[in-house]
Amino acid sequence: MTFQQVYGYEPSVRYSAPGRVNLIGEHTDYNDGYVLPFAIDRRTTASIAPRADRVIRVASAFDEAGGIVSLSLDELSPEAMDGWSAYVFGIAWALREQGSDLTGKTGFDVFIESDVPVGAGLSSSAAIECGVALAFNDLWELGLDRKTLARVGQYSENHAVGAPTGIMDQSASLLGERDAVVFLDCRTLDTAVVDLALEANGLEVLVIDTRVEHAHATGGYAARRASCEKGARVLGVEALRDVSIEDLPRAQELLDDETFRRVRHIVTEDQRVLDTVRTLREHGPRAIGSLLVASHESMRDDFEISVPELDLAVATAMEHGAVGARMTGGGFGGAAIALVDREARDAVAAAVTSAFAAAGFREPNTFTVRAAQGARRD
């Protein structure tokens, strides 16, 4: 399906936005902490044509039948949207909720295509949100900057889609740059772009999609977030960002064991992000392997968001010479990443695939990604 096949005419503009891989800094975003993601060379494209009335129509290449969902700008509300089209309508709603005046604005016909794998933990949803947010901001001449658009995307994800996620995915998708990571302070939204220099170092990032499904609107993700909020409350801080490694012994006295371990993950993970940034700047990507592995172990043992497939992927990659490896994203399934020598990439992928077969796991999907430019008008 194409825009032309669905709507019977050609679109006038195209915007695209990438998915993301998080190099390190997991579940730190909603604790006002630090993250270090990068935008990947897998993108979602929104082809768009303006309409004369106030209707937004949405269709996608995923829908073989060419189905169209429509909603008027006068009827925007979370209750009026469901399914994946909420990722598009939700942006218009969130723009308005966040203070943009849509009076007198007209709607669009929108067609979505994507090569960001869905359900792999690579933020296929943020890719739609960010491409659409950039497009609506331009076409409606709202004048919002990219950090504000990231907030709009997060607001839509939280309140229209209903997943209590942080600001990382949208920031990566909007602010990413080629061969670089986005160092983001999730409290201030201050960002710095840090060279990843993988190409120059002969390294690649191998993604191992376990194909174990995860959903952040339900279950474990929200429970982890609640534990973090409880920890902050008991420790008397605004967010876990305000707890340092030196505070941990006192935290252990005040918190129950489970909450303490959740807190310890966040506090040590924030420090690992800072250490990774410094190491990348001073010694380059070959030196960050042990930080990636320590991050994985902390998520496995303290935050308890890994699954056996992710642990096996990381262990096998390390046994076969990866520089570092860890699960990436929200956890409970999704993907792991391994930082590998270009020449070792196929051997590592093959080793993980056979280890999965031997363990009786579903065959993983393995592919490499590069750090790519963020959302843009194409």
Binding positions for ligand GLA, rule: CB under 6 A: 22, 26-27, 29-30, 165-166, 168-169, 216, 329-330
Q: How far is the CB of 150 from ligand GLA (least distance, A)?
A: 11
Q: Which is nearer to ligand GLA, 329 or 374 (CB)?
A: 329
Q: How far is the CB of 321 from ligand GLA (least distance, A)?
A: 27
Contacts 24+ apart (CB under 8 A), 310-315: 310/210, 310/212, 310/334, 310/336, 312/352, 312/355, 312/356, 312/359, 312/361, 313/208, 313/210, 313/338, 313/352, 313/355, 313/356, 313/364, 314/338
Separation CA 172–CA 182 (nearest Å)? 7
The torsion angles phi and psi of 31, rounded to 5 degrees, stand at -105, 20
Q: Which is nearer to ligand GLA, 109 or 309 (CB)?
A: 309
Q: How far is the CB of 169 from ligand GLA (least distance, A)?
A: 5
Burial label for 378, CB within 10 Å (0-12, 13-18, 19+), is exposed
Out of 29, 109, 169, 209, the active site residue is: 169
180, two tokens:
């670089």
- Exposure string over 242-281, b if 16+ CB within 10 A, otherwise e: bbeeeeeeebeeebeeebbbbbbbbbbbbbbbebbbebbe
Please state the length of the chain.
378
Q: Which is nearer to ligand GLA, 285 or 331 (CB)?
A: 331
**DSSP string spanning 175-199?**
H--TTEEEEEETTT--EEEEE--TG
Nearest to 298 by CA among 328, 331, 330, 261: 261
Cα four-point dihedral sign 43, 44, 49, 50: negative
Q: Which is nearer to ligand GLA, 11 or 330 (CB)?
A: 330
Q: Which is nearer to ligand GLA, 216 or 300 (CB)?
A: 216
Q: Which is nearer to ligand GLA, 27 or 105 (CB)?
A: 27
Q: Which is nearer to ligand GLA, 44 or 165 (CB)?
A: 165
Find the radius of gyration of the CA atoms of the chain.
21
Q: How far is the CB of 48 from ligand GLA (least distance, A)?
A: 25
Q: How far is the CB of 69 from ligand GLA (least distance, A)?
A: 24
Q: How far is the CB of 176 from ligand GLA (least distance, A)?
A: 15
Q: How far is the CB of 193 from ligand GLA (least distance, A)?
A: 19
Q: In what order do the strands lie in the sheet with 34-35?
A: 34-35, 180-185, 191-195
86, two tokens:
């909420």
Burial label for 77, CB within 10 Å (0-12, 13-18, 19+), is exposed
179 is catalytic: no
- Side-chain half-sphere CA neighbours of 41 within 13 A: 13
Residues labelled as active-site residues: 169
